Chains A and B, each alone.
Chain A
């Protein structure tokens, strides 16, 4: 039986280079399932990525794809969308790519509200370079550059996105696959800057450093610690402890996207819109 999502992959580029048990493949598949669900055309959809483990996904996906420089996916995507608004533009990034070296582009992307869908694969570590701490490595967790546990306070990328002006903000995990697909699909629906954080397990670097066990155990950790937003909101603060974290649609406030606003600029300036 042919699996309907297979046509969205470049079969000749597979197998992927990710480690056995890596969660990136789950998140990548969730993106194409969301694309399928929303009926986006492969010819009219562009996948843009930065640098890092997450960002190698673009090469496996059968669309026009762009593997940019470290941290720069959002500016490239901004140029693509403004130059050709008919294209659907999806950005794949990682926790280091998006919130460290690309942090400024990220917050300004949120503010500018160009119609882009950003999916951040959060493995809580720099995987490609061998396991250094990222701005999303939790306090106390170990990395090669935090051998005694990280003392560097992490970002909550969803709160950051919302505060910076993103018009759609959601989080899910590689365990909650159907939910993740829904969260991404909702982002594709929003005509504006949509941000979806996808927890993915990195058994090789993060998992091993922090004694999280097998990839399956890391997925179980997501199952046991992720709390759906509705339940999370009802939890008293003293229960929001340990490693528990909320998932779900955190924020949705559609607003005029940059390109629509700019069309009005073109009109005011007396230029012809196409």
Chain B
């Protein structure tokens, strides 16, 4: 039986990464994510892995992509200002299909903002931050233990789909300390391998049945070419409209096709619910308490928590909206994911925002009052 440990969210992220096989970390110090880099600097060499502190946020992102191409499972962690700088190479990873995990422990922005108060205002940046059409996977844990599990999930999705995965934490969860018992075993998705030899006509960007290419690691004798230019199955750039269209469509489709399997949500108190609070990350903890308090007053309200932020849980929200009298979206920002919820609800029920952006995490009473107002407005 594994022992219980007192652990911080950021530490759990580092531990989860190592359990999932991450053996290369490049980073740059930035609060409130720094403990992830510090923990990796300490743990990685114990496991034979490597840590490098790079000269800036862009450099650390470049290093993890290079390492991934050379066969490593790699990760980087940052917060808002660094997340902005990394957008360039997130797009590179999406285009060249390089597996990697980037953690963003969100803090208040824009710009230097309020270091390092909690926020969830990088949700849309995670989706659309880099230029051009691209898919993204973003995951948001709500507890220390779940941070461990979701980090493992992030590493596995990066490998399975050969895509950058954003672990969208927030300061509340990153700096939270909880008692956790870590699992003794986690399932690890191995690096995809070429299914043909060079002589058999191997092309690095030929999609497999799941639309994901089996790009060879460097040093395997395949002599592959990797570029951030739009390329065909050979990996070399082409100016063809058809190939450009097909490439961009495939990038989206490889993730869309996995569909519901990678969209994780969790419902609490929803069996007889007439109203729902939708929340994610640290805010969902407070929302849970608010829902419990509202239930104690006899309000039939439940909590739907998003673990997968992107791709968005369209079907879950659409089905929910058809059953509810109203949905309250609680998030630490001026209103970001609420727009997605309204889009997916498509007018089936009212969707209200409970937003907070004043450096402070929610307290349960704030969300509870918003539930009261939702119920009063939409009987």
**Chain B associates with chain A:** yes
Q: Give the Cβ gap from B101 to chain A, nearest Cβ, in Å.
A: 14
User: Which residues of chain B from 27 to 70 have a CB within 8 Å of any chain A CB?
Assistant: 42, 44-50, 52, 54-56, 58-70
**Does A59 lie within 8 Å of B62, measured CB to CB?**
no
Of A29-37, A40-48, A152-160, A243-251, which stretch is located at the interface? A40-48
Q: Give the Cβ gap from A15 to chain B, nearest Cβ, in Å.
A: 14
**Does A84 lie within 8 Å of B219, measured CB to CB?**
yes
| In the assembled complex, A271 has its CB within 8 A of some CB on chain B | yes
Contacts of A129 in B (CB 8 A): none
Partner of A80, one of B23, B66, B222, B228: B66
Q: Give the residue name and chain of the A residue nearest to B49 (CB).
A: A271
Contacts of B88 in A (CB 8 A): 69, 72
Partner of A79, one of B66, B228, B237: B66
Q: Give the Cβ gap from B55 to chain A, nearest Cβ, in Å.
A: 4
Partner of B74, one of A48, A58, A83, A107: A83
Whether A105 touches B226, Cβ cut-off 8 Å, given contacts A83-B50, A273-B48, is: no
| In the assembled complex, A141 has its CB within 8 A of some CB on chain B | no
Q: Give the residue name and chain of the B residue nearest to A268 (CB).
A: B45
Contacts of A274 in B (CB 8 A): 48
Partner of A104, one of B59, B68, B218: B59
Count, chain B residues at interface, CB 8 A: 49
Report the Cα distance A262→B24, complex, angstroms.
12
**Does A83 lie within 8 Å of B71, measured CB to CB?**
yes
**Does A108 lie within 8 Å of B54, measured CB to CB?**
yes
Contacts of A5 in B (CB 8 A): none
User: Which residues of chain A from 242 to 274 have a CB within 8 Å of any chain B CB?
Assistant: 258, 262, 265-266, 268-274
Report the Cα distance A69→B226, complex, angstroms.
11
Report the Cα distance A242→B338, complex, angstroms.
66
Contacts of B69 in A (CB 8 A): 66, 76, 79-80
What 9 A-B pairs come out closest when comparing CB atoms?
A79-B66, A75-B62, A79-B67, A76-B66, A108-B55, A269-B45, A79-B63, A83-B67, A83-B70
Interface string of A92-136 (1 = CB under 8 A from B): 000000000000110110001000000000000000000000000
Whether A78 touches B70, Cβ cut-off 8 Å, given contacts A69-B92, A271-B47, is: no
The dominant DSSP class at the A interface is helix
**Does A108 lie within 8 Å of B59, measured CB to CB?**
yes
| In the assembled complex, B223 has its CB within 8 A of some CB on chain A | yes
Q: List 16 A-B contacts (CB under 8 A).
A: A48-B66, A64-B219, A64-B224, A67-B226, A72-B89, A74-B59, A78-B63, A80-B67, A82-B50, A83-B71, A83-B72, A104-B59, A108-B55, A262-B50, A271-B47, A271-B48
**Does B229 lie within 8 Å of A67, measured CB to CB?**
yes
| In the assembled complex, B225 has its CB within 8 A of some CB on chain A | yes
**Does B218 lie within 8 Å of A79, measured CB to CB?**
no
Please list the residues of chain A having a beta carbon within 8 angstroms of any beta carbon in chain B: 10, 13, 42-44, 46, 48, 58-59, 62-69, 72, 74-84, 86-87, 104-105, 107-108, 112, 258, 262, 265-266, 268-274
Contacts of A42 in B (CB 8 A): 223
Partner of B65, one of A10, A76, A87, A108: A76
Whether A76 touches B63, Cβ cut-off 8 Å, given contacts A82-B52, A83-B72, is: yes
User: Which residues of chain B from 207 to 258 have a CB within 8 Å of any chain A CB?
Assistant: 217-229, 236-237
**Does B222 lie within 8 Å of A64, measured CB to CB?**
yes
**Does A266 lie within 8 Å of B74, measured CB to CB?**
no
Contacts of B228 in A (CB 8 A): 67-69
**Does A79 lie within 8 Å of B225, measured CB to CB?**
no
Report the Cα distance A126→B65, complex, angstroms.
26
